[in-house]
Structure 1
Amino acid sequence: MLKKENPKKKSKLVNILFAGFITGTLDGLAAMILNYKVNPGVIFKFIASGAFGPAAFAGGAEIIVAGVIFHYVIAFVFSAVFFLLYPFFYNGLRNKYFVAVIYGIAAWLIMNLGVVPLSKITMKPGYHIPVSTIVIGMLTLIICVGLPVVFIADRETQKSK
């Protein structure tokens, strides 16, 4: 006998996938716009270098594709986690815009203080991220990750009430 799928679970999964696609696309576009002097392929080679190390920069289209895939996987993971945590954050903070700011800052901190240092991305010894780069990065993630996830999760939360 076939089990009927719970439409709420299906809706939640669709919304999480949608949030991941939107955040990945917006963040990727933002990276290309903010780094307009750099070939977009280099941006995705940089992402791929997290797994393949400096050799990624010598790679071709396959490395760029790998970088795009890694980028979207990361976007989907962050979106799923933030989406699922949204009700808890909203109940505590009572302001979806503040939640979006928290999400964007958290995403930046996790990526730059956790994921990147643990990856094979190499930085010059003594390199420190300029404050302006930190602020731009956090604002980008607030706009490209925090707000879309919050709007999608809030819509889902309102529907289920």
Structure 2
Amino acid sequence: MPDVASTVTLARTALYAGLLAGALDITAAIVTNLQVPARVVLQSVASGWMGRAAYQGGWPAAGLGLASHFAIMVVIAVIFVAAAVAIPALRRFWIPVGMVFGVAVWLAMTFLVVPMSASPLTPPADLMTTLKPVAVHILAVGLPIAWVARRMLGAG
């Protein structure tokens, strides 16, 4: 049974990793979608709960989207941290593992989570529209989470 200190360290690691990835990912989403206001990007996240009504929900819907985005990122970080504790090699080889994890997160969000939600968003239609979000998930989600896990939990 883990002691309280190690449980706190694991929780703190997952929280920091999730907050960092959440901040980087939502910033990338806003910056790579400058054709729409940031509010709309956040509302698109809320559409997972609210469907198309999120886009008429103004800033309250955007706030729900932002809170949901960070909650999802913390859960994603918890998954990685738990795996990295069970399999120390994930921390030792954090760069390739983080890249693969970023792709895995994109696949799960694009083909499982979003389709099972109320969101009207559809998967990318072609390779060119797929590359940008995959790269963002590698650089803003997978690598930062893997880096924080390695930094806070050691190389294994």
TM over 0.5: yes
> Quick check: 1:12 aligned with 2:41?
no
Tell me how far apart the structure 1 counterparts of residues 5 and 121 of structure 2 sit (CA, whole Å): 47
> Quick check: 1:141 aligned with 2:134?
no
Partner of residue 50, structure 1: 48
- Give, in angstroms, the shift of residue 56 of structure 1: 1.0
Q: Deviations over 1:36-68 (max 9, x none)?
A: 121000001111111111111111111111111
Tell me how far apart the structure 1 counterparts of residues 121 and 82 of structure 2 sit (CA, whole Å): 33
Partner of residue 31, structure 1: 29
Unaligned runs of 5+ in 1: none
| Equivalent residue letter for 2:139 | I
Across the aligned residues of Structure 1 and Structure 2, the Cα RMSD in angstroms comes to: 2.1
Q: What is the 5 A alignment of 1:66-145?
A: 66-88=64-86, 91=89, 95-123=93-121, 128-145=124-141
Contact 1:90 1:96 in 2 (8 A): no
Tell me how far apart the structure 1 counterparts of residues 8 and 121 of structure 2 sit (CA, whole Å): 42
Aligned length: 154
> Quick check: 1:61 aligned with 2:45?
no
Structure 1 stretches (4+) deviating beyond 4 angstroms? 87-90
Structure number with bigger Rg: 1
| Equivalent residue letter for 2:89 | N
Unaligned runs of 5+ in 2: none
- TM (normalized to structure 1)? 0.86
Structure 1 residues 128 and 105: alpha-carbon distance in aligned structure 2, compared to 1, 3 A threshold: closer
Contact 1:53 1:122 in 2 (8 A): yes
Tell me how far apart the structure 2 counterparts of residues 81 and 52 of structure 1 sit (CA, whole Å): 26
Tell me how far apart the structure 1 counterparts of residues 108 and 42 of structure 2 sit (CA, whole Å): 19
Tell me how far apart the structure 1 counterparts of residues 125 and 105 of structure 2 sit (CA, whole Å): 16
Structure 1 residues 44 and 102: alpha-carbon distance in aligned structure 2, compared to 1, 3 A threshold: same
Contact 1:49 1:56 in 2 (8 A): yes
